[in-house]
Structure 1
C-alpha cells in the first residue's frame, strides 16, 4: 500500500510554487512549534528516526490537511503520550501540575545554539562490510519497504524502488533508520550516495538526462 507521506514523484498533487523570496519568515506559532519539538527531543525519550516515523503515522486525513508545522505538533503530541512523558489529560491541561521527573533535562535557552550547532551525527562504526564501490551499478529493492517491521519506517522512497543507479560516494557506516525508528537498535551499516538517471525513475521525465542522487543504506541495494 502506498504510504500517504511518500509523495516524491507522485502525480496529481498540482504544481509546486516556490516562495518568491526564498525561505519564508516563520510565524510566531511556527517558531514555537520548532522550539517545542527541539526541547522535547532533548528529553532523550526518542531519536530522530522515531520522530520521523511518528509524523508518517498521522492519519491520512490529518496528514493531507495539516501544514508542515501542524504535522510536527501533532506527531509530537503522539510521541509524548506514547513515551509516557505526558498523558492525554496533561495535553488537555488537566494533568498533574507537580515537578516532572524529566524536569532536570529541560533544554535551557542559553544551550540552544550549541545544540543546533552540534546536530545529531549518525555515523557509527560497524561490523558490516561494504559490498559496493564507487562506480558500481546497483539496483534498489522492490517494493520500498522496511524488511524488519511490516509497514515500518524506511528511507527508500517508493519512486526509486527497483531503479538502477550508480554508486558515486561512500559515506561510511550510519545508523539504519529502519531499525532505529522502531527501537530495535542502531544497526549501523554502509551508506552510499547513488545517482539515478531521471529516465530510470519516471516514465516520461521532462529532462531525461538529469540525475537524482539519493543517500541509501546497503540493505536497500543489490548488484545490478
Structure 2
C-alpha cells in the first residue's frame, strides 16, 4: 500500500512549483522556530533521523494533505515526544508537572549549536555485507517497495521505482539501513548505491522520456539482472 507521502510521479496532485530564487529561507518566523525545536529535541538522543522521518509518514492522510511543511514537522515531533515518553499530552497542553526534566542535562545549549550542526550525523559505517553490484551493472528495484522487516514500516525505496530497471552509477559506501534503524532494530549497515533510471522505466507516460532519475538505494532494495 502506498503511503500518502510517497507521491513521486503521481497524477492529480498538480505540478511542483519551485520557489523564486530570492525567496526567504523561512516564509514565516515560526518556521525557523519549528526547525530549531525539532533539532533541539533530536539532540536529546531519544530517536534517530529515520525514526523522525517515519513519524512524519505516520501522520493521518487527512492531516498530511492539509498541513504545511513545517506543520508536518511539529505534528510529528509532538507525536514522537509522547511516544518516547519525553513529554505527556498534559505537558503539551501546558498542564504538566513543574520541575526540572530528567533530560535537562542533555539540552542543546546555544553556544554548542554551531558545532553540533557542523558535525552533522554521518550515516556511513564500517563493516556490513560486501557490495554485490558494480558501476554500469543493470539492476531491478525490489517488488514490493514496502519495508521487508516491519509491516507498514519506513523505507527509502519509493513505490514508483518498484520493479523498474536501472543501472548502478556509483557505490556510496556502507550506510545505516533506514528500514531497520527507524524501528529500533539496529543500524544493520548495507552498501548504498546511486542508481540511474530512465524516466520511461518509471512512468508509462513521462513528459520527457529521455530524462533520468538518480535514486540512492540500499543493496537489499536491488536485484541483479
TM-score (norm 1): 0.98
Cα separation, 2, equivalents of 1:203 and 1:189: 31
Q: Give the drift of 1:126.
A: 2.1
- The alignment partner of 1:203 has SS state of coil
- The alignment partner of 2:41 has SS state of helix
Aligned counterpart, 2:13: 13
Q: Greater CA deviation, 69-78 or 200-209? A: 200-209
Aligned counterpart, 1:50: 51
Pair 1:38-2:39 in alignment = yes
Q: Greater CA deviation, 58-67 or 113-122? A: 113-122
Q: Give the drift of 1:58.
A: 0.3
- The alignment partner of 1:215 has SS state of strand
Aligned counterpart, 1:115: 116
Cα separation, 2, equivalents of 1:17 and 1:190: 34
- Aligned ranges for residues 160-175 of structure 1 at < 5 Å? 160-175=161-176
Unaligned runs of 5+ in 2: none
Q: Give the drift of 1:97.
A: 1.4
Check 1:107–1:53 CA distance in 2 against 1; reply closer, same or farther (3 A cut).
Answer: same
- The alignment partner of 2:81 has SS state of helix
Q: Note if contact 2:128-2:174 (Cα within 8 Å) is conserved in structure 1.
A: no
Cα separation, 1, equivalents of 2:221 and 2:169: 16
Pair 1:2-2:6 in alignment = no
Q: Give the drift of 1:204.
A: 1.2
For these two proteins, the number of residue pairs brought into alignment is: 224
Aligned counterpart, 2:152: 151
Q: Give the drift of 1:24.
A: 3.1
- The alignment partner of 2:194 has SS state of strand
Residues 97-137 of structure 1: per-residue CA shift (max 9 Å, x gap): 10001001100111111111111100011231111111110
TM-score (norm 2): 0.97
Pair 1:76-2:47 in alignment = no
Cα separation, 2, equivalents of 1:34 and 1:59: 21
- The alignment partner of 1:209 has SS state of coil
Q: Give the drift of 1:23.
A: 4.7
Cα separation, 2, equivalents of 1:23 and 1:56: 27
